[in-house]
Amino acid sequence: MSSTASDNDTDSVSSVEDDEDSMMRCSKQGISFPEMTVENIGKDEVDEFLAWSLFEKEPRDMVEWEKDELEVCHLLLRQKLNLAFEPGRLNVMRPRRLSKEDVDTLHRPLVIYLFVALFKALAGWQLMAFGFRKIVSKTGVVAWFRPACHQEAEQLMPRLFFHGVAPGGASMYLPFAFSLVSDGRASFLFENPNISCTIGFGALTEVEYVEGIMEIVNRSVGADKNLSIVGHSFGSVPLTWMIRSSELKDRVHQMVLLDPVTIMLSEPDVMVSFLYKTGISLIRMVAGSELFTIYYLRRHFAWYNSELWLEDIPEHTQTVVALSQQDEIVNAEKVREYVELGFSGKLDLLFWKGASHGKCVYTPSKWRELKEVMNRQESSIVNTMDKSEDFGSFLDCYSQLED
């Protein structure tokens, strides 16, 4: 079977390469394809976008083979979509290239950062008073950990929480985070200083961040525990990294996505709403214009590695997607439609009418609604695992009888 699949893959790759070679020869010989010119967009603007999206370069910096690839892209657009672009630059529309553009921030005086640092220090003392201790991984990932408070809680899945963009990071989420672990289970609160209005910078790659999570979890509760992971807003992105990790995806049995930016991230909604928003708004003033946050999102965050496709969620992972109807960042209606289109029977969807982005973090009634769904899922997970263990025991007995 594997050799056949490999042969088919080789054939398909060869076919694509043959098509591209054929199209390049046609272009050089002056053979044209039917085309429809796109108004207001010149070929130079398209080249700018393709050079950035494919090679992270300006067109003038590309080497010869990269320029050939751009021509193949244009030929494919003409052949497959009947699209062509006027030669030159029209200067009517410009591509958005977030990692090449200037960082657009609003100045914050030093006293703001000092106030946030004091707030985080106070939150740290509160966490220690509640039995948490701070852990730092070898890669630099920071988390607060509290072991299970009693024997019954040790049987529950450890819960990992990841915060969104907010001054002070996890400190802004403490009442909500405490509500998620009020049953005394082992719990982790992970920090991301790059989105926390914190002076200093130390961006990690996806691999480094996941390695840090795995190190902290294994050191604290062992390498055999199944996990419940919760992320709000940007905190949904590390959840996506985790279920793609070969070391962690089998251990994630529950995933909770609150106001998730990771779903449909390739759509323009999140980036336009957060990075390109102008004027005065609460989200822009509090989070969307802070220097270190914007620098991280524009220069050190790989958007194309962080989109969650719901079909990629493992079968054993119970999932909750919670959306706020009036979300200013996430297009909640579009995400809801995507979920209901093909995944409504595979996960639990909460749609809070009239709610804005982040309202679930400070609304106790929504905490109770969320925990009810999560507890129901966890009961289902336990029942499924018990049946699997019973079946495993049956197989062991059967094999002994055969012996």
Summarize pLDDT for 238-249 with one digit per residue, the tens: 999 999 999 999
How large a percentage of the chain has pLDDT more than 90?
A: 62
Look at residue 392 and tell me whether its pLDDT is greater than 70.
Answer: no
CA distance 69 to 55: 10
| pLDDT (average), residues 43-48 | 92
- Predicted local distance difference test score (pLDDT) of residue 396: 54
Instruction: Supply the mean pLDDT for the chain.
Output: 86
Q: Is-contact 161 190, C-beta < 8 A? A: yes
Look at residue 39 and tell me whether its pLDDT is greater than 60.
Answer: yes
- Predicted local distance difference test score (pLDDT) of residue 70: 93
Query: What is the DSSP-derived secondary structure letter of residue 171?
Result: G
SS3 call for 20: helix
pLDDT tens-digit map of 216-229:
999 999 999 999 99
CA distance 231 to 246: 20
3-state helix, strand, coil in the chain (%, to 5): 50, 15, 35
Range ranked top by mean pLDDT from 28-32, 42-46, 142-146: 142-146
- Predicted local distance difference test score (pLDDT) of residue 142: 96
Q: Is-contact 324 283, C-beta < 8 A? A: no
Cβ neighbourhood burial of 228 (10 Å; 0-12, 13-18, 19+): buried
Q: Is-contact 82 35, C-beta < 8 A? A: yes
34-38, 198-202, 320-324: least confident range: 34-38
Report which of residues 277 and 24 the model is more confident about.
277
> φ, ψ for residue 40 (rounded to 5)?
75, 0
| pLDDT (average), residues 113-127 | 95
- Predicted local distance difference test score (pLDDT) of residue 98: 85
Range ranked top by mean pLDDT from 16-25, 300-309, 350-359: 350-359
Residue 297 in tokens: 């999102």
Q: Find the angle CA(75)-CA(34)-CA(76) to the nearest 5 degrees.
A: 20
pLDDT tens-digit map of 186-195:
999 999 999 9
- Predicted local distance difference test score (pLDDT) of residue 94: 83
Look at residue 16 and tell me whether its pLDDT is greater than 50.
Answer: no
13-17, 233-237, 268-272: least confident range: 13-17
Report which of residues 104 and 252 the model is more confident about.
252
Query: Confidence class of residue 127 from pLDDT cuts 50, 70 and 90?
Result: very high
